[in-house]
Amino acid sequence: MSLLKKVTIGCGPSIYSADASTVSASDKSELETIKKRFLIGKLGLKDGPDLDKRLSDVIEQYGRSKRNKYRAVVYYLLATYFSVLRLS
């Protein structure tokens, strides 16, 4: 729970906006933004096919058919997989 709380705080006030609080898995540009801003920008990962694959895996794990995929949960799942988010 503490990791999810830190990720949620890191999302900032955008999580209170209906549009920004969810991820549209069918929108390629949104997935690219998650990759560039969160995985590469915040977590400091190198770009590569593994990032695209893991992002797709997380969407599958969350459930592609679920309409509302909460951004904080998607980020949490990604951070858990890559084990780079530090708890302090």
Least confidently predicted of 44-48, 73-77, 83-87 = 83-87
pLDDT tens-digit series, residues 51-60: 999 999 999 9
pLDDT tens-digit series, residues 29-47: 999 999 999 999 988 899 9
Mean pLDDT of the chain: 87
Domain ranges of the chain: 1-11+45-88
Give every CB contact of residue 10 below 8 A, 6+ residues apart in sequence. 42, 75
Can you give the pLDDT at residue 84? Answer: 53
Residue 68 pLDDT > 50: yes
More confident residue, 86 or 71: 71
Nearest CA among 82, 71, 85, 78 for reference residue 8: 71
